[in-house]
C-alpha cells in the first residue's frame, strides 16, 4: 500500500505512518487509502479507529498538516452527501469528529479553516434520515465545542454559524442546531464573565439581526430555537436597567407589530438608566429604536419618547468608539424626525438629540482610527501570536517576539490613557473613604447625572441640594436598590433608605412590622426585647406602642423608619425628606441623633434649610448634571454660591403659582360669612380608647387663612377629614354651604393621584366650569408650576416628590374650589416652589386651611391658628389671642342635617357634600326659596324639560365662572 513520500519506504501502511520523520508528507494516495479504511470498516468503532489513524498521520508535522486539507475535504464532502449509502455518510461524520478532536488541540492554526470548511456539512448531517448519521454529527459538534479556545469560539465558530443560519440552502434541522450552538456559546460566555463575555458582547451587533431573522422562520422549531438563543444573548448585557425589559424586547422582535413596538419604547422611556451603556446594550436596542424612527406607523408621542431615549443612551455611552459604531444607524432617523415631525415639540427634541449624537461621534481634532483594541487582555497576546510564529522560527524565539509585542501593547496603552488611578486629596488624607463610584443616572425621558463621581467619607453628613426633579431621590433609591454602578454592595457597606411612604402593612403591629423588615434584610437574630427598647428610645411607648401601622400619623411613620435603620445598624443613612411631618421637638431629636453618631455617614435630601444648616458637614450640589462638593453646611454653601439662597428664602422670583378664582356661592355676599362649620364634634377611631377630637366647634369663610398647629398624632389630619366629609363624627355635626366646592390635598397626597369616578360624580367635580382641551389643561399645570412637557408626556410614577405634589395641588384646584385645605403642602417642595405657593395662597380669593410644621411658611400666611392638643382645640389669632370666647359661631342658619357623605372620594370632591341637594335642609341662604311643591301634568313636565335643556346649553356657552342656574319647581 502506498505510504509517505519516502525513497527508503515506498510502501508504508496507514497504521505505521505516525512514526515517520517530521519533514515527511502524506501523498494523495495515502490519504485515499486511509479514507478507504474508514469507509470499509465493519463497525462504527472500526471507522473511528481508522479516522484517528488518519489524523495522527497528517499531524506528524503539525506545521504542514493543513496542506492535506485540499486532498482530504472533497472526498469527505462527497461521502457525507452520498444518498445511496448511509454507512458512508456516517463514516464521513466520524472523520469530521476525529478531525476536531485531533487538530484543534494539536494544530490551533487550523481550527478556523477547519470550521469554515467542514461545520456546515456536519450541521446538514443532523437532518439525515438515519439515526446513526445524526448521532455521529452530534458527536462531532460536541467534540468541537468542548475543545475550541475562547478566541476561536467567537472569531471562528460563531461567524460560521451566522453564515449558515443566513444561508438559503441550509437545512432547517441544521439551523436549529446552529442557533442552539449560538445559545450555548452565549451561556458559556455569561458563566466565564471575562474575556469571552466581552468579545461575545461586541459580536452582538451582527449576531442579533441574524438570530432575529431566525425568529421569523416558517419552521416553528427554528423560530423557537432562535427565541431561546436571543434570550441567552440578552444575558450578555450586564445592564440591570435594560435586563428587566428583555422579555418585552424579545417579544417585539418576534412580533414586530405597532403595539409591541409602542410598549417597548414606552417601557424604555420609563426606565431609570444608571449603568454605563456599552456595545451589547446598543446592539440590542439599536434595531428597535431604528425601527421606531423609520416606521410610518409610529405616532408622534412614541417618536417623542424614542428621540429622548436615543439622546439619553448617547449621553451614557462612555466610549466614543462604541458611539461611532452604532449612532450612524440612528442619526438619519433622528434627523428625519427633526425635519418632518408634525409636532414642534417633537422636532425640538429631535434637534437636541441630533446635536448630542454629533458631539458623541466626534473624535476631536485628530483623524479617525480604523482599528481599535476591543478588550485590554494583554496576557492573551503572547499565546495568540506564538502559535503562528513557531512554524517559521525557533520556539524560544517565537515566545520572545510574542512577549515583546505584548509589552509594547501594555506600554502604548499606558502612555495613551494612563493608569486611571488618581491621588487622594490632601484634605481627606487621614479619613476613611467608604464610597468612590463613577456613574451616570437617567430616567428614560430625563438625563439626571452624566459621568459624575460620588465620593463619601465615614462620619460625614452630606446634604443633597438641587431643584425639584434633579434626581436627588432617584439617586438615593438607586443606591438602596443596589443599582448604582460602583457603589459597594450591602455585604460590604450596610445602607438603609429612610423615606416617607405609605406602608401596605396597615393592620400590622409596630413590632411585627419591624420584625418583618429585619428578616427581609437578613437581621432576623435581633430579639423582640431589643426591638422594643429601640422603639422606646424614639418615643414608641405606652399606648402608642400598641398601635397598628395604619393608626400612626405621618410624623410617627417617619420615626418608625428611623428606628428600623437603627436596628439594621446602618453605616450609611439615606434620608429622603426626614423632617416631613415631624414636629419641632422630633426634628430636634433627629438633629441630635445624627450629630451624636459620628460613625454613621448620612446622605440627606431635605427642603428644611434650618435642618440642613444644623446637621450637614458637606453639601453635594447638582450642577450641569454633575455632583459638585462644597465643604460646610448650607450657609457656607450659599456664601460660595449666592444663587443657592433659594434654599433659604420663600422667594418666588423664578417660579410662580396662580390659583383659579373660585366661582360664586349663592347667598354669600360677604367673604367673612361662614361657609362651613363644625358644632360640638367628637370623633374616636374604632380601635382607640379615647377620642382623637373632643367637642370641637369652629367655622371657615372665604377670607379664612387658618393654620392648624399641633404635635404628631394630636388630631390635625382627623379634624380636616371631618371638615371635608371623609369621616363622619360620632357626636356633633358638620354643615356646609350646599354648593361649596372643597379642594383637599391630604397628608398622603399620592393617594389622590388615583382617580376612579363615574360620570355623575365627575359632573359634580366642576367639569362644567373648565374647558377640557389640551391647551387649557397645559395652562392649568403651568399655573401650578409644572412644566407642560412633564405634565403631558411623563407618567406620574416617573415624577419627583415635588412634582407629584404639584400634580396633587393642580388636581385640587381644577374644580375651582371655594375652600382649599392643604395638609403638609410644603413636603417635597423646594424653596422657590414654596415661595410661589405662598404667593398664590395670598392672592387666592377663597378660604385656605393649612397644616404644616414649617413655621416660616405658616407665619407668612395665617391670620388665625387652631391649636390642637390631646384632642382639644383652641382658636387663636396670629398674635396669640384666644378666640374661643370672643367669636360667635352663629351662621344665621336653622339646624339641619349634617352635610357629610359616607363616600370616600380620593380627590377634592363636591360629591362628598350636599352640593346638589337643595332640599331645604342645612345652612340657610337668602336666595334659596322654598315653596309648596306643585304637581305638574305630563305636558307641563315635557315643557319643563325643554326649558331646562335650553337653559343648560345657554349656560355652557356663557363666560367662565357664570353660576349654573338651578332647576327649581316654581320656574315659569
Q: Are 858 and 852 in contact (CB under 8 A)?
A: yes
What is the pLDDT at residue 597? Answer: 86
> What per-residue confidence (pLDDT) applies to 879?
60
In angstroms, rounded to a whole number, what is the distance separating the alpha carbons of residues 3 and 24? 10
In this prediction, residues 463-483 reach a mean pLDDT of 81
The per-residue pLDDT for 287 is 85
d(CA 672, CA 565): 49
| ∠ Cα 183 187 190 (to 5°) | 140
Maximum separation of any 2 CA atoms in the chain, in Å: 137
How high is the mean pLDDT of the chain?
77
CA distance 331 to 602: 43
The torsion defined by the Cα of 76, 81, 82 and 83, in degrees rounded to 10, comes to 170
Q: Is the pLDDT of residue 904 over 50?
A: no
For the stretch 330-345, pLDDT in tens is 888 998 998 888 888 8
In a domain, 937, yes or no: no
> What's 301-365 look like in SS3?
HHHHHHHHHHHHHHHCCCCHHHHHHHHHHHHHHHHHHHHHCCCHHHHHHHHHHHHHHHHHHCCCC
Least confident of 20-24, 117-121, 785-789: 20-24
Q: What are residue 438's DSSP bridge partners?
A: 453
Which of 830, 860, 877 is at the close of a domain? 877
54-63, 157-166, 490-499, 612-621, range with the lowest pLDDT: 54-63
Instruction: Find, among 152, 71, 42, the residue nearest to 105 by Cα.
Output: 152
Q: Is the pLDDT of residue 254 over 90?
A: no
Verify that 820 and 706 share a domain, yes or no: yes
Distance from C-alpha of 262 to C-alpha of 269, rounded to nearest angstrom: 11
Quick one: 321 and 280 in the same domain?
Answer: yes
342 and 475 belong to one structural domain: no
Q: Is the pLDDT of residue 364 over 90?
A: no
Scan for cell 411623563, then name that residue: 794
- The reported pLDDT for the residue numbered 648 is 55
pLDDT of residue 935: 77
CATH number for the domain harbouring residue 288: 1.25.10.10
Instruction: Say whether pLDDT at 198 is over 60.
Output: yes
User: Taking Cα atoms as reference points, which of 668, 681, 662 lies closest to residue 892?
Assistant: 668
Q: What is the pLDDT of residue 460?
A: 93
- 345 within domain boundaries: yes
Does 514 score more than 90 pLDDT?
no
- Residue 909 inside a domain? The answer is no
Percent of the chain residues topping a pLDDT of 90: 6
**351 plus 385 within the same structural domain:** no
Region 364-389 average pLDDT: 52
**Could you tell me if 356 and 465 lie in one domain?**
no
Find out whether 884 and 877 touch, Cβ atoms under 8 Å: no
Q: Strand 601-605 relative to strand 572-576: parallel, antiparallel, unpaired?
A: parallel
- Statement to judge: residues 412 and 470 lie in one domain: no
Rg (CA), the chain: 39
Categorize the per-residue pLDDT at 749 as very low, low, confident or very high, splitting at 50, 70 and 90: low
Whether 205 maps to a domain, the answer reads no
Q: What's residue 47's pLDDT?
A: 87
pLDDT for 529 equals: 83
Q: What is the pLDDT of residue 932?
A: 61
Average pLDDT over residues 151-180: 87
Main-chain dihedrals φ then ψ at residue 731, nearest 5 degrees: -135, 150
Sorted by sequence, the CB contacts under 8 Å of residue 588 that are 6+ apart come out as: none
| pLDDT for the residue numbered 654 | 59
- Within this chain, do residues 593 and 686 fall inside the same structural domain, yes or no? no
Query: What CATH number is associated with residue 482?
Result: 3.40.50.300
User: In the predicted model, is pLDDT for residue 370 greater than 50?
Assistant: no
Q: What is the pLDDT of residues 645-654, one digit of tens each?
A: 665 555 545 5
Q: Is there a domain that residue 657 lies in?
A: no
In a domain, 179, yes or no: no
Residues in a beta bridge with 110: none
Does residue 333 share a domain with residue 270? yes
- 48 located within any domain: no
- Of 204, 206, 251, residue with least CA distance to 227: 251
Q: How far apart are alpha carbons 199 and 627 in whole angstroms?
A: 33
Q: Are both 745 and 838 inside the same structural domain? A: yes
CB-count burial class (<10 Å; 0-12, 13-18, 19+) for 835: buried
Res. 912: pLDDT tops 50? no
**Which residues, other chains included, contact 543 with Cβ-Cβ below 8 Å and sequence gap of 6+?**
689
Residue with the bigger pLDDT between 883 and 249: it is: 249
Strand partners, 433: 457
Q: Which of 240, 230, 237 is nearest to 439 (CA)?
A: 240
Report phi then psi at 513, rounded to 5: -65, -45
Question: Whole-angstrom Cα distance, residue 445 to residue 453?
Answer: 22
Q: Counting beta carbons within 10 angstroms of the beta carbon of residue 394, is it exposed (0 to 12), middle (13 to 18) or buried (19 or more)?
A: exposed
What band does 21 get if pLDDT is binned at 50, 70 and 90?
A: very low
Which of these, 485, 572, 467, lies nearest to 790 by C-alpha position?
467
Same domain, 459 and 411: no
Number of domains in the chain: 5
Contact 492, 738 (CB under 8 A): no
CA–chain centroid gap for 136, Å, is: 49
> Which range of residues forms the domain containing residue 952?
943-972
Which helix (H) or strand (E) element contains residue 793?
A: helix 788-793
Measured CA to CA, the distance from residue 705 to residue 707 in angstroms comes to 7
Split at pLDDT 50, 70, 90, the class of 618 is very high
**pLDDT at position 603, please?**
92
| Cβ–Cβ < 8 Å for 496, 573 | yes
Higher pLDDT pick, 235 / 395: 235
Structural domain ending residue among the three candidates 877, 893, 928: 877
Residue 449 has pLDDT above 60, yes or no: yes
Neighbouring CB atoms inside 10 A of 117's CB total 18
pLDDT the model gives residue 290: 87
First CA to last CA distance, the chain = 127
Please report which confidence band the pLDDT of residue 180 belongs to, taking 50, 70 and 90 as the band edges: very high
Is there a single domain that holds both residue 719 and residue 747?
yes
For the stretch 659-700, pLDDT in tens is 888 888 888 888 888 899 999 999 998 878 888 898 999 999
pLDDT at 619: 92
Q: At 916, is the pLDDT very low, low, confident or very high (cuts 50, 70, 90)?
A: very low
Q: At 3, list the grid cell.
A: 505510504
Is 8 inside a domain boundary? Answer: no
Residues 708 and 805 in one domain: yes
Q: Mind listing the pLDDT tens digit for each residue in 850-861?
A: 887 777 678 778
Q: Which residue has the cell 450629630?
A: 595
Domain boundary residue, one of 877, 898, 924: 877
Contact between 483 and 241 (Cβ < 8 Å)? yes
Amino acid at each position: 500500500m502506498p505510504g509517505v513520500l519516502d525513497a527508503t519506504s515506498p510502501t508504508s501502511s496507514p497504521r505505521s505512518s505516525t512514526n515517520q520523520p517530521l519533514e515527511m508528507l502524506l501523498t494523495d494516495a495515502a490519504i485515499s487509502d486511509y479514507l478507504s479504511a474508514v469507509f470499509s470498516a465493519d463497525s462504527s468503532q472500526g471507522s473511528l479507529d481508522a479516522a484517528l489513524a488518519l489524523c495522527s498521520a497528517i499531524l506528524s508535522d503539525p506545521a504542514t498538516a493543513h496542506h492535506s486539507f485540499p486532498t482530504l475535504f472533497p472526498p469527505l464532502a462527497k461521502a457525507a452527501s452520498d444518498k445511496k449509502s448511509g454507512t458512508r455518510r456516517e463514516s464521513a461524520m466520524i472523520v469530521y469528529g476525529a478531525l476536531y478532536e485531533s487538530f484543534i488541540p494539536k494544530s490551533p492554526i487550523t481550527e478556523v479553516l477547519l470550521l469554515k470548511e467542514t461545520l456546515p456539512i456536519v450541521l446538514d448531517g443532523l437532518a439525515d434520515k438515519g439515526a446513526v448519521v445524526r448521532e455521529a454529527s452530534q458527536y462531532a459538534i460536541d467534540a468541537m465545542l468542548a475543545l475550541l479556545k475562547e478566541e476561536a469560539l467567537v472569531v471562528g465558530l460563531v461567524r460560521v454559524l451566522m453564515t449558515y443560519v443566513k444561508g438559503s440552502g441550509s437545512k432547517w434541522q441544521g439551523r436549529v442546531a446552529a442557533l442552539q450552538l449560538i445559545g450555548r456559546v452565549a451561556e458559556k460566555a455569561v458563566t466565564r464573565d471575562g474575556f469571552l463575555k466581552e468579545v461575545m458582547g461586541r459580536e452582538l451587533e451582527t449576531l442579533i439581526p441574524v438570530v432575529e431573522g431566525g425568529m421569523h422562520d416558517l419552521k416553528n422549531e427554528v423560530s423557537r430555537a432562535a427565541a431561546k438563543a436571543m434570550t441567552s444573548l440578552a444575558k450578555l448585557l450586564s445592564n440591570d436597567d435594560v435586563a428587566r425589559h428583555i422579555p418585552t424586547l424579545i417579544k417585539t422582535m418576534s412580533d414586530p407589530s405597532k403595539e409591541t413596538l409602542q410598549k417597548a419604547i414606552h417601557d424604555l422611556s420609563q426606565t431609570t438608566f444608571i449603568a454605563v451603556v456599552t456595545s451589547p446594550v446598543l446592539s440590542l436596542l439599536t434595531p428597535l429604536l431604528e425601527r421606531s424612527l423609520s416606521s410610518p406607523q409610529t405616532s408622534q408621542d412614541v417618536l417623542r419618547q424614542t428621540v429622548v431615549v436615543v439622546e439619553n443612551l448617547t449621553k451614557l455611552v462612555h466610549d466614543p468608539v462604541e458611539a461611532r459604531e452604532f449612532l450612524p444607524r440612528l442619526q438619519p432617523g433622528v434627523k428625519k424626525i427633526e425635519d418632518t415631525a408634525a409636532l414642534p415639540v417633537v422636532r425640538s427634541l429631535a434637534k437636541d438629540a441630533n446635536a448630542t449624537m454629533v458631539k458623541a461621534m466626534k473624535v476631536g481634532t485628530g483623524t479617525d482610527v480604523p482599528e481599535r483594541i476591543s478588550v485590554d487582555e494583554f496576557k492573551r497576546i503572547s499565546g495568540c501570536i506564538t502559535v503562528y510564529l513557531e512554524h517559521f522560527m525557533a520556539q524560544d524565539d517565537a515566545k520572545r517576539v510574542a512577549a515583546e509585542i505584548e509589552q509594547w501593547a501594555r506600554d502604548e496603552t499606558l502612555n495613551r490613557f494612563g493608569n486611571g488611578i488618581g491621588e487622594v486629596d490632601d484634605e481627606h488624607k487621614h479619613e476613611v473613604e467608604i464610597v468612590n463610584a463613577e456613574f451616570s443616572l437617567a430616567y428614560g425621558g430625563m438625563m439626571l447625572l452624566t459621568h459624575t463621581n460620588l465620593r463619601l467619607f465615614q462620619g460625614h453628613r452630606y446634604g443633597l441640594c438641587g431643584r425639584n426633579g434633579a434626581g436627588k431621590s432617584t439617586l438615593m433609591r438607586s443606591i438602596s436598590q443596589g443599582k448604582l454602578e460602583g457603589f459597594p454592595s450591602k455585604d460590604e457597606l450596610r445602607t438603609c433608605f429612610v423615606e416617607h411612604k405609605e406602608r401596605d402593612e396597615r393592620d400590622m403591629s409596630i413590632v411585627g412590622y419591624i420584625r418583618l423588615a429585619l428578616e427581609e434584610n437578613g437581621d432576623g437574630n435581633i430579639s423582640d426585647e431589643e426591638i422594643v427598647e429601640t422603639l422606646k428610645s424614639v418615643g414608641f411607648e405606652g399606648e402608642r406602642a400598641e398601635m397598628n401601622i395604619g393608626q400612626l400619623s405621618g410624623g410617627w411613620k417617619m420615626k418608625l423608619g428611623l428606628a428600623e435603620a437603627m436596628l439594621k445598624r446602618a453605616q450609611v443613612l439615606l434620608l429622603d425628606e426626614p423632617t416631613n411631618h415631624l414636629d419641632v421637638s422630633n426634628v430636634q431629636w433627629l438633629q441630635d441623633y445624627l450629630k451624636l453618631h459620628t460613625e454613621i455617614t448620612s446622605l440627606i435630601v431635605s427642603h428644611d434649610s434650618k435642618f440642613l444648616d444644623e446637621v450637614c458637614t458637606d453639601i453635594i450640589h447638582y450642577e450641569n448634571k454633575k455632583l459638585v462638593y462644597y465643604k460646610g453646611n448650607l450657609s457656607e454653601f450659599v456664601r460660595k454660591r449666592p444663587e443657592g439662597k433659594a434654599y433659604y428664602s420663600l422667594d418666588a422670583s423664578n417660579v410662580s403659582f396662580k390659583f383659579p378664582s373660585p366661582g360664586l356661592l349663592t347667598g354669600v355676599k360677604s367673604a367673612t360669612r361662614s361657609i362651613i362649620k363644625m358644632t360640638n364634634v367628637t370623633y374616636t377611631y374604632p380601635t382607640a380608647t379615647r377620642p382623637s377630637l373632643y367637642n370641637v366647634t369652629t367655622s371657615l369663610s372665604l377670607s379664612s387663612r387658618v393654620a392648624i398647629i399641633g404635635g404628631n398624632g394630636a388630631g390635625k389630619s382627623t379634624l380636616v377629614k371631618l371638615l371635608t366629609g371623609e369621616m363622619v363624627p360620632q357626636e356633633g355635626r358638620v354643615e356646609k354651604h350646599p354648593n361649596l366646592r372643597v379642594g383637599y390635598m391630604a397628608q398622603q397626597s399620592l393617594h389622590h393621584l388615583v382617580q376612579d369616578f363615574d360620570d355623575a360624580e365627575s359632573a359634580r367635580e366642576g367639569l362644567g366650569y373648565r374647558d377640557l382641551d389640551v391647551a387649557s389643561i397645559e395652562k392649568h399645570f403651568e399655573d401650578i408650576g409644572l412644566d407642560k412637557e412633564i405634565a403631558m408626556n411623563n407618567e406620574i410614577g416617573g415624577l419627583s416628590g415635588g412634582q407629584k405634589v404639584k400634580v396633587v395641588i393642580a388636581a385640587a384646584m381644577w374644580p375651582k374650589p371655594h375652600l382649599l385645605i392643604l395638609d403638609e403642602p410644603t413636603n417635597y417642595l423646594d424653596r422657590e416652589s414654596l415661595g410661589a405657593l405662598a404667593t398664590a395662597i395670598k392672592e387666592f380669593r377663597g378660604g385656605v386651611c393649612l397644616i404644616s410644621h414649617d413655621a416660616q411658611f405658616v407665619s407668612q400666611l395665617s391670620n388665625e391658628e387652631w391649636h390642637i392638643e390631646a384632642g382639644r382645640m383652641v382658636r387663636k389669632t396670629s398674635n396669640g389671642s384666644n378666640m374661643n370666647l370672643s367669636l360667635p359661631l352663629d351662621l344665621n342658619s336653622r339646624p339641619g342635617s349634617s352635610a357629610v357623605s359616607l363616600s370616600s372620594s380620593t380627590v377634592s370632591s363636591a360629591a362628598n357634600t350636599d352640593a346638589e341637594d337643595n332640599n331645604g335642609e342645612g345652612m340657610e341662604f337668602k336666595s334659596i326659596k322654598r315653596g309648596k311643591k306643585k304637581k305638574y301634568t305630563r305636558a307641563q313636565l315635557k315643557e319643563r324639560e325643554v326649558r331646562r335643556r335650553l337653559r343648560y346649553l345657554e349656560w355652557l356657552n356663557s363666560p367662565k365662572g357664570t353660576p349654573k342656574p338651578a332647576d327649581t319647581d316654581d320656574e315659569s
